[in-house]
Amino acid sequence: MSEEIRAQTYVGFDSITQQIEHKLLKRGFQFNVIVVGQTGLGKSTLINTIFASHLIDSKGRFASDEPVRQTTEIQAVSHVIVENGVKLRLNIVDTPGYGDQINNEGCWDPIIKYIKDQHSAYLRKELTAMRDRYIQDTRIHCCLYFINPTGHALRPIDVIVMKKLSEVVNVVPVIAKSDSLTLEERDRFKVKIRDELIYNNIRLYPFDTDEDDEEEVQLNETIRQIIPFAVVGSENNVIIDGKSVRGRKNRWGVVNVEDAEHCEFMHLRNFLTRTHLQDLIETTAQIHYEAFRSKQLLALKEGANQRPAASQQ
């Protein structure tokens, strides 16, 4: 085709991708994460390490004579972070550490309720007659579940809570403070956890869909082989080979948080921000919210069907 004919037949709809990009960039993206796990496992620290900024306060003590502090209620903090003109509105929900009471029965209920409440709020906004063009999304896209680095097995409470959570949210398990395990212990612990997840029929994110191409299926498979991510968090920088890096310094050495030889923090960060951010958001809408929505609408319909019958009695 000559240049002239091409110019005559060119309509210009291929610019739709730039138009979408422009609109999305203007609006920005919303990502909501919840952190769940026993008290003091480094939840706040890890979040601050992942997003390379101080987003939530760690409750750790700086001196041994300071009183013990801990997160005592579900707290959501919002931040806008910008990278190369892309605006990410980040909502982080910190939950009180649980499982340290004598009776832990039902200690997960407030967390599940919080997640369902966000679905419910979204559904209400969706169903209003004059609904907003853009609904503020507070639905939780990812739940980072912190496992105690015991090196033995999952605690019964971990199994119960992960099972319940996986029914309403994308659960990503992490072995907290993995610097307390040797490499062999870490590998054995990971295998044990994966076996227990399968044995207890806990289906964790990522899920394969029919739409996934070969590359995505392969990527998900790689992630499944790493999960649970054995991580180390730190808000402090240490000097290694003259370079300042995020790390933890002990008497016997230094853990470089961002070194894949030391821990799997970088795998987790890449997974959350580079490879699966959009998929976590989509899966929340298409799987978890959709399941909630259809259940609610069915209940509404059944309620409406029963009402006239009741009023006739």
Residues of this chain that bind ligand GTP (CB under 6 A)? 39-45, 58-60, 70-71, 97, 177, 179, 232-233, 248
Residue type, 181: L
User: Whose Cβ is closer to ligand GTP: residue 135's or residue 240's?
Assistant: 240
* C-beta closer to ligand GTP: residue 46 or 193: 46
Instruction: Report the nearest approach of ligand GTP to the CB of residue 147 (Å).
Output: 12
Cβ at position 157, least distance to ligand GTP in Å: 15
Three-state DSSP state, 98: coil
Q: How far is the CB of 95 from ligand GTP (least distance, A)?
A: 8
- Single-letter amino acid code for the residue at 19: Q
Number of helices (H), then strands (E), in the chain? 10, 9
Q: How far apart are CA 44 and CA 46, in angstroms?
A: 6
- Strand-strand pairing, 75-83 and 86-94: antiparallel
CB nearer ligand GTP, residue 122 or residue 229: 229
Bridging pattern class, strands 29-37 and 142-147: parallel
In the complex with ligand GTP, which residue's Cβ is closer, 45 or 284? 45
Q: How far is CA 229 from CA 172, 219, 270, 308, in A?
A: 8, 15, 12, 54
Residues whose CB falls within 8 Å of the CB of residue 14, separated by 6 or more in sequence, listed in order: none
Identity of the residue, 234 or 283, whose beta carbon is nearer to ligand GTP in the bound complex = 234
In three state form, how does the secondary structure of 208-252 look?
Answer: CCCCCCHHHHHHHHHHHHHCCEECCCCCCEEEECCEEEEEEEECC
Nearer to ligand GTP, 50 or 281 (CB): 50
Q: How far is the CB of 240 from ligand GTP (least distance, A)?
A: 17
Shortest CB 223 distance to ligand GTP, Å: 21
As measured in angstroms, the least distance from the Cβ of 59 to ligand GTP is: 4
